[in-house]
Structure 1
Amino acid sequence: MNSVRAVVARSLSNPVYRLMMAGVFAALAIVAFLTLNVRASWAFTLPFRGEKVIAIMLVGVAIAFSTVLFQTLTHNRILTPGIMGFDSLYALLQSFMLLLLGRIAFVQLNPQLKWLIEVMVMAGALCGLYYWLFLRQKRDLPVLILVGIVLGLLFRSLNSLIGRMMDPVEFDVLQDLMFANFNRIDGSLLAVAGFLMLLVSAWLWRQRYVLDVLQLGDAIAVNLGLNQRALTLKLIVAIAFLVSISTALVGPVTFFGILVANIAYAVSGSYQHRFVIPMASFLAIIALVGGQAILEYVLKFGSSLSIVVEFIGGVFFLGLVMRQGRR
């Protein structure tokens, strides 16, 4: 009996088995989403729900990847790409397009064109900021984060100013876009979003061992022969595209990445990216797909999943900050 317990304990402590268990739970969450409370025909239900579950998985994996990478880059577990002002830039972009085009033209705007504009503007803004600070001004990463925080405040102020210039109907349309909504994902965007996600994720997975070296610290990474500046540039570009893809698909999600990334470090039992990144992705799928299935098909709540996720993530973030403060 003791030998059986020892074998089970060793298996559960193995990161590979933990990752396999997380994959099983993620698959169960997907099956539950596809099959719970089905009232229409399967020929209609499976394609309809399947499109939604693919979109939610894309968003969850993009958030998990980008947060783990950003925390590796900054060597800080309480930071998230949202600190760079992405949410504020997304809100400002929506406000500007709505004010410029008008409510009717904005609503009728081609969704593929709108999504590509959002992705290119948000990714281009961060890449341009990085080029100016790192390559032209020779600054370091903390300065980039500080400038991102300041720009986020600027974007929020400009967004508030534009909101005051709108009529009440346009402002109501704008407010609906300021919160993440997993029920309004446009299925026509999934092909191009999935293709971009596949390219970025494949490159990042090839860099998983290099990321382990970068995680040791900038000085150690450079001494081990790593071109830290070039790698940082590539990672910033990858993070920019991942965050832009997820934000443009569902809207801004601030604290969810911190939640899944930190739980992934604890649950995986390893700091190696070949375990942490898949674990964070599986946890994101479990939380988003499973949470959406419970809210929509079991509890039959009309509330948006993002409200629950952001509340839990915000409480978790405050707990991390207070824990760091005690240290």
Structure 2
Amino acid sequence: MAKIRFLCLIAVFFGVCALFLLWQLRDPKALILSLRLTKLGALVVVGAAVGAATVVFQTITANRLLTPGIVGFDALYIFLQTMLVMTLGGTGYATLPQLGQFGAEIVTMVVTALLLFGLMLRRGTEDMLRLILTGVILGVLLRGLAGLAQRLLDPSEFAIVQGASFASFGGVDKTQLWIAMVLLAVTLLFAMRLSRQLDIVALGRTTARSLGQEYDRVVLASLALVALLVAVSTALVGPVTFLGLLAASLAYAFVPTWRHIYLIPAAALIGASILIFGQFVFERLLGLQSTLAVIVEFAGGLLFLALVLRRSPR
């Protein structure tokens, strides 16, 4: 049953891709297809990365209410953008080499995450709760510092920061996109190789270790993969906090299995399909721009509240 449903997800994914590419395709077809392919690639990379990262993160934290953004990735990205604009000014920020900035953002977010994971989990993965709480506190701190710095910017510089603080799928650099696609493919490959071990980790620390699983090693490797996936997607288009919660929740519901060999790619396919279909509706049918990320965040926020209220004690 899980395999059949997974095949259905693949069919839906390719269907929405074809719809996005071919809907009302007119001359000059080559140019339009090139532009649409670039945007489609960005949607796929972000949706797949965030969806897969969320499933892995929820498994190692044993909590389906959490997303990787809880440890402060989004706040760190906004803080970096604010500091760059504040230091270099609007003109200096605009003249930064895009590829260098893209690489620096990925490295900074991954290194910061690994330092946090290493410091918080140096005594073992039983400190996972402390890691999450520390991430939440750091996220609040970075958002506060970014907000304070933004108040010191002039209106034109503040507008630049605001523009960089929301996910945008238009104008993605092709070189950055290719790099992101390669990193996504490699990271997902490693995640799939860990899928059987994640099946055991999902049973809990005590049970996993009694079965001979090197629990701490798998958790640390999984956190590194999550950090890279989220860093790549965030550096490419900006933060999309609740997309992963949507993708992971739908993956658990549509593919009712505990096997991560299906759950991880299912969440990746669902995340990508949500973004592609949403962009198609807003851009092709409604003629709207720059609204998809807001709607996704709104829907994800409602889902988060629903999950919290459903689990609340009566």
Provide TM-score, normalisation by structure 1.
0.93
Does 2:287 match 1:295?
A: no
Does 2:38 match 1:38?
A: no
Does 2:257 match 1:270?
A: yes
Alpha-carbon distance change, 137 to 167 in structure 1, aligned in 2, over 3 angstroms: farther
CA distance in 2, matches of 1:238, 1:155: 23
- Counterpart for residue 255 of structure 1: 242
2:17–2:40: 8 Å Cα contact kept in structure 1?
A: yes
4+ residue stretches of structure 1 with deviation over 6 A? Answer: 136-139
Alpha-carbon distance change, 25 to 138 in structure 1, aligned in 2, over 3 angstroms: closer
Match of 1:127 among 93, 109, 114: 114
- Counterpart for residue 292 of structure 2: 305
CA distance in 1, matches of 2:124, 2:290: 46
CA distance in 1, matches of 2:80, 2:151: 15
Does 2:302 match 1:318?
A: no
**Secondary structure, counterpart of 1:225 in structure 2:** coil
2:168–2:290: 8 Å Cα contact kept in structure 1?
A: no
2:245–2:304: 8 Å Cα contact kept in structure 1?
A: yes
Is there any run of 5+ residues in structure 1 with no aligned partner, and where? 1-13
Is there any run of 5+ residues in structure 2 with no aligned partner, and where? none
1:133–1:139: 8 Å Cα contact kept in structure 2?
A: no
Q: Which amino acid aligns with 2:164?
A: L
1:37–1:298: 8 Å Cα contact kept in structure 2?
A: no
Deviation at 1:40, TM superposition (A): 2.8
CA distance in 1, matches of 2:185, 2:174: 17
Q: Which amino acid aligns with 1:264?
A: A
Deviation at 1:137, TM superposition (A): 8.8
Does 2:43 match 1:56?
A: yes
CA distance in 1, matches of 2:125, 2:25: 58
Deviation at 1:54, TM superposition (A): 1.2
Deviation at 1:88, TM superposition (A): 0.6
Which one has a bigger Cα radius of gyration?
1
CA distance in 2, matches of 1:29, 1:88: 31
CA distance in 1, matches of 2:187, 2:285: 35
**Secondary structure, counterpart of 1:140 in structure 2:** helix
Q: Name the count of aligned residue pairs.
A: 314
Does 2:195 match 1:217?
A: no
Provide TM-score, normalisation by structure 2.
0.97
1:74–1:141: 8 Å Cα contact kept in structure 2?
A: yes
- Counterpart for residue 89 of structure 2: 102
Deviation at 1:65, TM superposition (A): 1.0
- Counterpart for residue 3 of structure 1: none
Deviation at 1:308, TM superposition (A): 1.1
